């Protein structure tokens, strides 16, 4: 499924879209890649941090929805949760994007 085909009316779709946009960003640092993916100026660090926090909450929300639905893809998704949480960590915002972007696994 292409990133453009993902529904944005749910947390999983929004999370996928932003992570896909970040992964394809040709930026120098993690901060600027997420700024680009979030369509926020890289100088607006507070807004970037708020958005990354909301994305972390979206990961939790999707996990909970899958648990309640007892979805067959739950194990596959839960396996990726630590990687998603790590990818959204504010501790890595100064890292070089080229060496970091492979932490984000998306299917496009």
Domain residue ranges of the chain, discontinuous segments joined by +: 3-103
Distance separating alpha carbons of residues 97 and 29, to the nearest angstrom: 5
Distance separating alpha carbons of residues 30 and 48, to the nearest angstrom: 11
The model's pTM is 0.75
Inter-residue contact 54 to 37 (CB < 8 Å): no
**What per-residue confidence (pLDDT) applies to 108?**
42
- Which residue in the block uniquely carries the two structure tokens 């930026």? 27
Give per-residue pLDDT as tens, 52-95.
999 888 888 878 877 777 766 677 777 778 878 887 888 888 88
Give per-residue pLDDT as tens, 2-16.
445 556 677 778 888
Inter-residue contact 22 to 101 (CB < 8 Å): yes
Reported as a pLDDT band with limits 50, 70 and 90, residue 46 is: very high
Cα 37 to its chain centre, rounded Å, is 9
Distance separating alpha carbons of residues 31 and 71, to the nearest angstrom: 33
């Amino acid at each position: 499924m292409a990133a453009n085909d993902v529904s944005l009316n749910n947390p999983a779709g929004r999370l996928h879209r932003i992570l896909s946009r970040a992964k394809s960003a040709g930026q120098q640092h993690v901060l600027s890649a997420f700024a680009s993916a979030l369509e926020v100026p890289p100088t607006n660090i507070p807004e970037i941090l708020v958005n990354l926090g909301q994305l972390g909450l979206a990961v939790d929300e999707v996990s909970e929805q899958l648990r309640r639905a007892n979805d067959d893809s739950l194990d596959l998704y839960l396996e990726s949760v630590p990687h998603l949480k790590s990818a959204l960590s504010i501790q890595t915002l100064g890292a070089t994007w080229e060496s970091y972007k492979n932490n984000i696994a998306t299917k496009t």
